[in-house]
Amino acid sequence: MEIIYIALLTIIAASVGTLTGFGTSTIMVPILSLFLPLPQTLLLAGVIHYFGDIWKIVFFREGIRWKLLLFFGIPGIIFTFIGARLVFSIPEILLSRILGGFLIAYSSFLFLKPGFKFRQSAKIAALGGGLYGFFAGIFGVGGAIRGAFLSAFDLPKAVYIATAGAIAIAVDSTRLITYFLSGIKLDKIFLLGFLLFIPASFLGAFIAKKISLKIPQNKFRLVVAAFLFLVGIRLLLIN
């Protein structure tokens, strides 16, 4: 039953993640971390997220902006490695509490400033890439930061989603390799589960493709923010 539940969660997370340009890991990591050790949670969600990145490019490939990808992606790769290495030197309970605090702070900020945007420049893109990579490496939920920075460029939706997916592939590749080299392994049942998880992520992206032009992005951000706030509180209360 765990495999079925994770597959259903994957469909929901992939749909939201594709529509908003972020959200797959942001939704999955807090839930999976309630019953899996954080390192395994990051690996499982990371692999699912990686395939979600692929589907974003498949469905919105005409929208990739290579210059923005380089400015954002290179710092992201570097800081992803740094963040992923820190996962193994900080106690798991502390990481859970830090993650909870981050989710509460982030979701509260979205409610207070739903239309917040950064000034457009190459430096801002590089800063955003570095912060995104660090949070993706250490928490597995850096996509919200990537989305916030990319939104500053006022991109058409197809460009926004495809560029976000291409950047995420580079960063996810770095952190997944780091996790594997650090010795993280998944139980056999979860490895077999990818026979469902991967098609589920494709289905979620397909659903998002169909409705991507009909639903405003800011509505999804607020729904996700409310969910993240509650899960953040739960993580802070873990003993």
Query: Packing angle between helix 122-138 and helix 157-181, nearest 10 degrees?
Result: 40
User: Which residues fall within 8 angstroms of residue 25, CB to CB, at 6 or more apart?
Assistant: 13, 17, 45, 46, 49, 136, 140, 141, 142, 143
**In order along the chain (239 residues), what is the average pLDDT of each group of 10 residues?**
90 85 79 86 91 90 81 87 77 73 81 74 85 78 71 73 85 86 88 94 91 67 71 73
Domain segments of the chain as ranges: 2-236
Q: Give me the pLDDT at residue 146, please.
A: 77
- Residue 17 pLDDT: 81
How far apart CA 239 and CA 4 sit, in angstroms, is 28
pLDDT attached to residue 127 = 86
Q: Write down the pLDDT at residue 30.
A: 80
Predicted pLDDT of residue 206: 92
Query: For the chain, where are the alpha helices, taking DSSP H only?
Result: 2-20, 24-32, 38-60, 66-86, 92-112, 122-138, 143-150, 157-181, 188-211, 217-236
Give the whole-angstrom CA distance, residue 76 versus residue 74.
Answer: 5
d(CA 99, CA 104): 9
**Could you tell me the pTM of the whole model?**
0.73
Task: Give the model's pLDDT for residue 72.
Answer: 86
